[in-house]
Structure 1
Amino acid sequence: MTMLQPPPEVYDLFDNILVLDKGEVVYNGPRTTLPSYFRSIGYECPPRKDVADFLQEVTTHLGPRYATTSNDAFSTTVGNRPTSAPEFAAAFEKSSIFHTIISDLNKPETLSPSMLPSSTESKVRLHYTNCLRVVFLRTWTASLRDIGFNIARLVQALVLGVIVGTTFFGIGRNTDVAKEAHLVPIKVSMFFLALTYQALTTISTIDTSLKLRHVLYKQSAYHFFHPSAYMVSDAVVELLWSVPQLVLFGTPVYFCVGLYPSVGAYFTFVLVVYLCAATYALVFKFVTMVSPDAVLAKVVAIFVIFLHIVFSGYVTPAPQIPLLWQWLYWTNPLAWALRALVLNEFLSSTPLYETMVPIGQDVWARVGSSALEAYGFTTNAAYIPGAIVFLVGAILVLVTGTTLAIQFVRFRPSMPRSDLKSSPPLAPPSQTGSATIRIASHDLNNLPFQPVALTFQSLSYTIDIGKGKNKTSRQLLKGIHGCFQPGSLTALMGSTGAGKTTLMDVIAGRKTTGTIEGDLFVNGHPLDRRTFTQVSGYCEQNDVHEETATIREAFHFSAALRLPSDTTQDQRQSFVDDILDVLELTPRANAQYLTLSQGERKRVTIGVELLSNPSILFLDEPTTGLDSRAATIVMECVKRIAESGRTVVCTIHQPSTVLFELFDKLLLLKTGGELVYFGDLGPQSSVLLEYFRQFQGLPPMEPHENPATYMLNCIGAGTGKAKIDVDFAALYRQSDLAVRNQQLMEQGQELVPLRKNAHSFGTQFVTLLQRQSATYWRSPSYNTSRLVLMVVVPLIFGSVFHGMELTTSMDVLSQLTFIFVATSFLCISMMTTSLPFVSQGRNVFYRERQCNMYAPAAHSLSLAVVELGYSVVLSSVFVHSFYWLCGLDGHYTRAWLWFWAFMTSSVLLWSYIGQLLVFWLPTPQMAELLGGGLASLSFIFSGFMIDVETLAVVWRWVYWISPVHYMLEGIVMAQYHHQTAPVVDVLTKTNVAIRDFVEGFFNHTFSPDMIGRNMVLLWVVIGVVQLLLLPWLLRFFIYCTSIFNPGTVTLVLGPPGCGKTTLLKHLAGILHVKGNEQVSGSVTYNGCKPSQVDLSSLAAYVQQSDNHYPTLTVKETFEFSHKCLVGTVDPNDPFAVNEQHMVDILISVFGLSECADTIIGDDMIRGVSGGQKRRVTVGEMMTGRATTLLLDEFSNGLDASTTYDIAKAVRTMAEVLEKTVVMTMLQPPPEVYDLFDNILVLDKAYLHKSSIFG
């Protein structure tokens, strides 16, 4: 395993420890011999120092403080005391432990290679049919539980079906031959709309597919199932969901429009639309698997739809499509489906279509056939079943293609980089070996602030659970009191679920739901939230920042908006520099946030809040994700902030002894939200220990025990049960300490009211505008993809229509259609591509708004201004190329100018609509779904597909609010109202002026007098949308020689960037080597090379992130993993374990029995806690028969108790099942450290040269 901060009780679970530093092996051997080894080379862990923390620091510039006072212990063994990573490695290679490893490697293998899975065996355990069944049930269950999305798309299908049906109500029942000439293009538009609506709405599946892609990568890498089994199951589930969706949409459309009343014709209509929708759903699945991110996937998907629309036979009749593009017409699912629907209707035996009309001298033809030929469609009915066959074949091809993409295409997630030069010494090492860290001196107290004493009494918090009759309440906090005083550093501690973060959120005003009772006072006066937010800072546990900004830019942004307006530029610059220095971020100050390591990101979060110069600072788990050295530096900095007179409050899970004793006060909660202790810690926790010493039956603290761990164990919140069976909360309420604490509730100086925002609106706007501009400029995938669309779309249309002369009404109609399709398509593109991009910054906005960093209007306006500039450029590129390449009117300058003006306004409007949807709706997926529906409605009622006079009266109001209507009317009238040249009407065979034909096509509802009015109305809509928006390689070098034995647990230690994760991935056979990365040396498994065994069966790598299906329960996740990894259990197999029995064992061992039937959940779906989710991640990979378990930083974000529980469970499974376990951790507490058998210590990455495994 790899771990960041293993507490002592977790450390003690391990058999072996591997310590890395700068890619060098500092130590690799039994945990029990580690202290004596380091004494032999001149270093010793102090009595009140966790061994894991000691190992993190001993190879750094802090190492001399741990030097022994006498050289006798090591001078004869290794010579001079090592001080650098190469010297530590050289010392280890001279040790007896190293020579033991070498001798063990040279011994004959004790385990037979035949016991390992052969690389020639089938890597998937289940038979294909069983695999298909298991995967299908998992996919169907997960899909079925996404209730919100399922209801939304079914309701949307029904609503839009009713809207489309009633919009085109009764046009199929027309009996007037003369009127049919006007209704034929409307009917074709209706069929086209029914098909494209399905294509547009299925784009919403891209977000879900991308979200689950990393789950698929993880499970397919370990051969849970055949990729084809997954793809077939996914396709079947999608097909099943499409059935009710298409019936709900297609039925009202068919019968309201009044299409041919035949059972066969109805089912043909629904089947063709169904197969077309399913085809495009699979097209987008394929696009998702071959695209690196959501933005590019959306762009590719939109471009595919665009090509299919242009060459569907709707924009340009099939006979007029150039030979260059004919292949796309005949391989186009939309073209086949549209042709089938048109033939299904116009070749029917409807009396109107059977009517014979003259089409020339003594030449008569059916009305239906004549209409088909006039609009470029064939009259061969064989194309109807041909379309069904083609669409079924397309589905099979797409399933196959996506399966191959799953198997051979991989996109690695963008991982934060570590910078090997990011942590230089801040001060010379102590010459005395003092245990106090010295930080370079910076004056953080030169900006004025008002000291704040925060008092709370009888504070309770209750939430409602369930709905309706099942609604109950749960009290999370019960009568808590306390006083946070200026100059003090207070720790909020307790077991997981005790209410630490809840208490801090209630005090800080972060809770927006539930019932809060009790009193809060600031300096003796009732707390005023509007004032309090200006003097307080809150560091969230999750690091949410603008990813493209550099550290210095993020700090300057916070300082510019949160420091008082009278702070000078020099003062702000100095304050920023000081914070960069104390957080060790100066060398990385110009690095973008997305390139930072996890520890660096945490320091950025703290720095951003410190730059508000708060009087009171709240920090939620500030050391989570940091190694012990980085955590100590951060907490030393926080301590200095408190010593400057500020009030500082932290929640913290697993502090080492050194970190714990940095705090002045402790507020301890027990499970259930009751107060157990509030008071001083005292020197070396003496006051706290004296308080617990009064309770008879509690054992004394061991000499090397962490007082934080001891205290939690006493009340039953640690790694074991309570030492005595008493109610510590009741004992505290009756204690003298509680009485003394009441005396702290004194009045103080009144808090001076501050302005709601420290800076003027203009300052906020300019600062936000600068950041938004940098964000847009540093997002090439977003802007480049949009620019490519603006260039490629005109080129494609130009290749089709360049040089086309307007000689017939069909030519004019084709030109009208491609103007409508091109402009509408690009509007949809701007909205769709903006959704994932804007979503990335939404959480940043929410965090900053909670801090009252700026007014919402400043954010909205800055985003609007930046988008305005890009929209002008993008639309100008499009118009300049599209207008001239497609042969539009070049003799009338005003037509070109109006085209540019309307196009720019519409592109901007739809980008703003995308922003609005992101901030209004809970998920991007919902925004995508609703956005597709809004776009469909706007285009339906634009006046092109059906004019307002033919439109049903009940929907005419939508026509008048559709922005596409105003854009289209302005562009069309400016383009055609002055063209009087005659063309031949293909239906009546008479000449008609271009202007008259266009006006007749729109039933004389479009007027050139409305061009200016439409432009004004478009900008009015833009303003309304804004008002609605307002309220809201690194090269790794590791030199490593090691042997890991079955039944042992090894801890790998080292600072960030030393190569711990790289080592584990190399052992697991999943290290991707690219560019100038190098791997040399050998790895063996029971003497076998990796190519001779199936590594995916042998080794299981547990990654740092928790990727699961959010709608599956814990037990269902374990059962699915076990079925896939074990396959069919052979009762005669001596190694076989009953499936249900194994799952139950794991659930019990990992402490998940209480939540076994709870869904896992995610950011938007409530599920298990973070600690429980981490247990699921580890346990999931142990359900199979992998003999080696590699855990990478499994303790991130977990408290000491949960970390210990997981490490203990893993150790138990390792001993019982004789598995080999290797973990990495940054900061293991002593109790966790003691769980390990061997320790491997690494320092900075130099060369991944040799890792030997046995």
Structure 2
Amino acid sequence: MRAAPERFHVSDSMIAAWGTVAETAPANGEPPEEARASRLQSTGLQSTKGADQAGSNTVCLTARSLQTSIRQYGRRKTLLDDVTLSLPRNSLIAVIGPSGAGKTTLLRALTGYQPADKGNVLYEGCDLYRHFGVLRRQIGFVPQDDILHTQLTVRTALRYAARLRFAKDHDDAARDARVEEVLSELSLTHRSDTQIASLSGGQRKRVSVALELLTKPSLLFLDEPTSGLDPGLDRQVMQMLRGLVDGGRTVVLTTHSVANLELCDRLLVLAPGGRTAYFGLPSEALEFFGKKDWADVFQEFELSPNRFWADGYRKSEHYRRHITGLTSETFGEAGSRLVRKQKSATASPSWFAQLATLVRRHFSVIAADRGYVILTVCLPLLMGLLSRAVPAPDGFLIPSQQGSDQDLYSSFNVDASRVVVMLAVGACLTGMANSIRELVQERMIYQRERATGLSRSAYATSKIIVLGLVTALQGLSIGVLGLIGRRLPETGLVFPSALLEMTLIIGLLSVTSMVIGLVISALVRTAEKTMPLLTMATLFQIMATSAVFPMFNQVGLAQLSWLAPSRWAVGALAATVDLSRVSPPAEAKNPKMRDTLWRHDLAQWITDIGILAAIGLIGFFLVIKFLRRHEPAVMRKH
């Protein structure tokens, strides 16, 4: 195994020592390299790599004239307005500003998640947007929301992430060794076997950072890493980031907290409208604005939102010293060598390897969530037992005792269609309930993993496999509970047992409904919208069966019902038991009016099943298509 690269180890005792940093904060004008050395000396820490590069006047990333706008209420709203900055190597940069100033938009532009409309971003002289697929592993991004499966333990989550991010030339031993390195580096070893949901806010943020450190990025961006944390946890997170920087990385974070800015090497202040109001040393920022504290600065932004803050900054000494004074690598052969080097180092795992890892991880998440497991077992049992509540003494056969010719309905089995509807409702509701929140609640996780090379189709296929297996078992359970013991035809149209044939149809309906749930989950933007849509979709499927009221003979409604999986599943069930003959006609005045999809015919049964399966297949491709809408913009071409 290769020796671990030189890195900066932050132990618990070192973190405690960081509590004295505020007392040794640099005086106004103290160069960042001297401030870093002072901090290291005050805590007894050494970093030879950081010391070698501290005095370098080069940058690792440069943004030039970034401009971004969106259309809102019929007007163009500017989010970033001509933002230019250079990020020095091995430095901690904080981005602050009032709400709506474009901090998150800037981070997404600098990481390549959402390229700016105008301008460019250069990483070591290479165009990030053009070579994102090659350079993405050099840039880590931790969004504000968790990118974790909180049901897993810390070590398990990191191991799955390593399998998804490292190519097959990294064996399990090498991946596990890297996981242990990261756990040690972030002082998480003692919490490695703890479920992530049980961690404190600061510890969970460390785990999110650990996910990004697996691929050893030289640049790390964090969006609001201290949001929602108390002052003590706020300082712990900032101290942790400071340690990462002194270990040889460049870290950029957005924050609303100004309590620990003295730990940073540079400070970027964005004014309303996404304009650069200041970029330079944190210790000189308040003096630049002529204010005593940040509350006064933010109040000035609110009172004068249209002031040309950027013009004042460009005319200042800070602009010359911290932007034009730094030099970037050139575009030439050095950039080409970097791209070639990264191409050989950024190969993603194969499609099948990603699929296998995703399937294993999903099963692990399910197994770790006891509440979900209990619900998964109980829901089909409940649906099956509810269908038993429909009294059907004749099952799916013609009543044994016929009424008079004047009493038309006494000659038919009116309960058979009710049982079919109940079984269809149970299958549809169970299937969609399993999946309708699946993609939307994992959206941040998917976005980040997609940016690191995850295959979109492998992700969608893993959901189909895992949820399809779970849902199929549930559907079969509903079918068996709802049908066993009832009077059925001796044989089906295809299978020797009508019970087996009908149970398989119900299982297929459950799986197809699950795919429809995934389509809805891929479409919506928030999880709150899924429950109303689940109700609406279930009601539509009930009405589309034509067993509640006849839609099959109404122009428009009949064609609309073809979109519902329940329409074709009920048709196949009806064909199996010859429901058209067993149940009463849809209209007493027109006893010959029958639903053609219910015809007791092998060809019709195959048609019903074929279209039901086709709806599921089309739904699968729609899931893949709709997933693209929520991906980082730069990945949509891949």
Q: Do they superpose with TM above 0.5?
A: yes
TM-score tier, shorter chain, comes to 0.7 to 0.9
Query: Once the 2 structures are TM-superposed, how far is the Cα of residue 849 of structure 1 from its aligned partner?
Result: 4.8
Please list the CA deviations of residues 697-741 of structure 1 after superposition, one character each: whole Å capped at 9, or x if unmatched.
Answer: 969xxxxxxxxx75x47x82489999xxx9874443234443343
In structure 1, the partner of 2:348 is: 758
Say whether residues 1:454 and 2:61 are aligned partners: yes
C-alpha distance in 2 between matches for 1:768 and 1:944: 40
Query: Once the 2 structures are TM-superposed, how far is the Cα of residue 1024 of structure 1 from its aligned partner?
Result: 0.7
C-alpha distance in 2 between matches for 1:814 and 1:901: 24
In structure 1, the partner of 2:24 is: none
Say whether residues 1:942 and 2:541 are aligned partners: no
Query: Once the 2 structures are TM-superposed, how far is the Cα of residue 904 of structure 1 from its aligned partner?
Result: 0.8
Name which of 1009, 1013, 1037 aligns with 2:602. Answer: 1009
Please list the CA deviations of residues 818-848 of structure 1 after superposition, one character each: whole Å capped at 9, or x if unmatched.
Answer: 3322222113322452366426633344543
In structure 2, the partner of 1:777 is: 367
Q: Residue 891 and residue 941 in structure 1: after superposition, are their counterparts in 2 closer, same or farther (change >3 A)? A: closer
In structure 2, the partner of 1:828 is: 428
What TM-score, normalized to structure 2?
0.75
**Contact 1:437 / 1:633 at 8 angstroms: preserved in 2?**
no
In structure 2, the partner of 1:967 is: 569
One-letter amino acid of the counterpart of residue 328, structure 2 = E
After TM superposition, list the pairs within 5 Å mapping 1:324-335 onto structure 2: none
In structure 2, the partner of 1:674 is: 275
**Contact 1:970 / 1:1008 at 8 angstroms: preserved in 2?**
no
After TM superposition, list the pairs within 5 Å mapping 1:1075-1154 onto structure 2: none
Q: Residue 942 and residue 795 in structure 1: after superposition, are their counterparts in 2 closer, same or farther (change >3 A)? A: closer
In structure 2, the partner of 1:516 is: 117
One-letter amino acid of the counterpart of residue 326, structure 2 = L
What TM-score, normalized to structure 1?
0.40
After TM superposition, list the pairs within 5 Å mapping 1:682-701 onto structure 2: 685=283, 688=284
C-alpha distance in 1 between matches for 2:257 and 2:504: 61
**Contact 1:782 / 1:837 at 8 angstroms: preserved in 2?**
no
In structure 2, the partner of 1:1109 is: none
C-alpha distance in 2 between matches for 1:499 and 1:592: 34
In structure 2, the partner of 1:543 is: 146
**Contact 1:973 / 1:1006 at 8 angstroms: preserved in 2?**
yes
C-alpha distance in 2 between matches for 1:739 and 1:729: 13
**Contact 2:154 / 2:194 at 8 angstroms: preserved in 1?**
yes
C-alpha distance in 2 between matches for 1:518 and 1:720: 25
Q: Residue 887 and residue 435 in structure 1: after superposition, are their counterparts in 2 closer, same or farther (change >3 A)? A: farther
Query: Once the 2 structures are TM-superposed, how far is the Cα of residue 909 of structure 1 from its aligned partner?
Result: 0.8
Structure with the larger RCO, 1 or 2 (CA within 8 Å, 6+ apart): 1
Moved more, 831-840 or 529-538: 831-840
One-letter amino acid of the counterpart of residue 585, structure 1 = L
Name which of 501, 507, 516 aligns with 1:913. Answer: 516
In structure 1, the partner of 2:320 is: 739
Please list the CA deviations of residues 138-166 of structure 1 after superposition, one character each: whole Å capped at 9, or x if unmatched.
Answer: xxxxxxxxxxxxxxxxxxxxxxxxxxxxx
One-letter amino acid of the counterpart of residue 761, structure 1 = W
In structure 2, the partner of 1:863 is: 463
Q: Residue 838 and residue 1005 in structure 1: after superposition, are their counterparts in 2 closer, same or farther (change >3 A)? A: closer
C-alpha distance in 2 between matches for 1:983 and 1:1027: 37
Q: Residue 851 and residue 64 in structure 1: after superposition, are their counterparts in 2 closer, same or farther (change >3 A)? A: closer
One-letter amino acid of the counterpart of residue 573, structure 2 = I
C-alpha distance in 2 between matches for 1:534 and 1:793: 47
Name which of 999, 1006, 1019 aligns with 2:613. Answer: 1019
Alignment: residue pair count: 559
**Contact 1:790 / 1:875 at 8 angstroms: preserved in 2?**
yes
C-alpha distance in 1 between matches for 2:44 and 2:145: 27
One-letter amino acid of the counterpart of residue 266, structure 2 = K
In structure 2, the partner of 1:526 is: 127
One-letter amino acid of the counterpart of residue 566, structure 1 = D
C-alpha distance in 2 between matches for 1:572 and 1:717: 46
Matched residue of 2:221: which SS? strand
Query: Once the 2 structures are TM-superposed, how far is the Cα of residue 881 of structure 1 from its aligned partner?
Result: 2.6
Moved more, 559-568 or 608-617: 559-568
Query: Once the 2 structures are TM-superposed, how far is the Cα of residue 917 of structure 1 from its aligned partner?
Result: 0.8
Q: Residue 937 and residue 797 in structure 1: after superposition, are their counterparts in 2 closer, same or farther (change >3 A)? A: closer
Q: Return 5+ residue gaps in structure 1 as ranges.
A: 1-56, 67-432, 444-450, 700-708, 989-996, 1033-1254
Matched residue of 2:194: which SS? coil
Matched residue of 2:545: which SS? coil
Q: Residue 902 and residue 747 in structure 1: after superposition, are their counterparts in 2 closer, same or farther (change >3 A)? A: same
Q: Residue 583 and residue 464 in structure 1: after superposition, are their counterparts in 2 closer, same or farther (change >3 A)? A: same
Query: Once the 2 structures are TM-superposed, how far is the Cα of residue 936 of structure 1 from its aligned partner?
Result: 4.0
C-alpha distance in 2 between matches for 1:627 and 1:939: 50
One-letter amino acid of the counterpart of residue 43, structure 2 = T
After TM superposition, list the pairs within 5 Å mapping 1:409-558 onto structure 2: 435-436=42-43, 453-467=60-74, 471=75, 473-511=76-114, 516-527=117-128, 528=130, 529-558=132-161
Q: Residue 462 and residue 790 in structure 1: after superposition, are their counterparts in 2 closer, same or farther (change >3 A)? A: closer
In structure 2, the partner of 1:280 is: none
**Contact 2:140 / 2:212 at 8 angstroms: preserved in 1?**
yes
Query: Once the 2 structures are TM-superposed, how far is the Cα of residue 436 of structure 1 from its aligned partner?
Result: 2.1
**Contact 2:380 / 2:430 at 8 angstroms: preserved in 1?**
no
In structure 1, the partner of 2:173 is: 570
C-alpha distance in 2 between matches for 1:956 and 1:570: 59
Name which of 791, 798, 816 aligns with 2:381. Answer: 791
C-alpha distance in 1 between matches for 2:573 and 2:506: 8
Query: Once the 2 structures are TM-superposed, how far is the Cα of residue 578 of structure 1 from its aligned partner?
Result: 2.6
Query: Once the 2 structures are TM-superposed, how far is the Cα of residue 1017 of structure 1 from its aligned partner?
Result: 2.6
C-alpha distance in 1 between matches for 2:431 and 2:437: 10
One-letter amino acid of the counterpart of residue 739, structure 1 = R
Matched residue of 1:951: which SS? coil
Q: Residue 438 and residue 1012 in structure 1: after superposition, are their counterparts in 2 closer, same or farther (change >3 A)? A: farther
For the pair shown, the structure with the greater C-alpha radius of gyration is 1
Matched residue of 1:818: which SS? helix
RMSD: 4.3
In structure 1, the partner of 2:25 is: none
Q: Residue 674 and residue 792 in structure 1: after superposition, are their counterparts in 2 closer, same or farther (change >3 A)? A: closer
Please list the CA deviations of residues 617-669 of structure 1 after superposition, one character each: whole Å capped at 9, or x if unmatched.
Answer: 1112323344566545544443343345433222234354xx53443333333
Q: Residue 587 and residue 440 in structure 1: after superposition, are their counterparts in 2 closer, same or farther (change >3 A)? A: farther
After TM superposition, list the pairs within 5 Å mapping 1:577-726 onto structure 2: 577-626=180-229, 630-656=233-259, 659-679=260-280, 685=283, 688=284, 712=294, 716-717=297-298
C-alpha distance in 2 between matches for 1:923 and 1:640: 36
One-letter amino acid of the counterpart of residue 533, structure 1 = R
One-letter amino acid of the counterpart of residue 540, structure 1 = P
C-alpha distance in 1 between matches for 2:276 and 2:578: 78
Matched residue of 2:442: which SS? helix
Matched residue of 2:279: which SS? strand
Give identity over the alignment, percent: 22
Query: Once the 2 structures are TM-superposed, how far is the Cα of residue 898 of structure 1 from its aligned partner?
Result: 1.3
Moved more, 496-505 or 1019-1028: 496-505
C-alpha distance in 2 between matches for 1:65 and 1:483: 29
C-alpha distance in 2 between matches for 1:764 and 1:63: 40
Q: Residue 882 and residue 716 in structure 1: after superposition, are their counterparts in 2 closer, same or farther (change >3 A)? A: closer
In structure 2, the partner of 1:952 is: 554
**Contact 1:65 / 1:434 at 8 angstroms: preserved in 2?**
no
Instruction: List 4+ stretches of structure 1 deviating above 6 A.
Output: 63-66, 718-722, 982-985
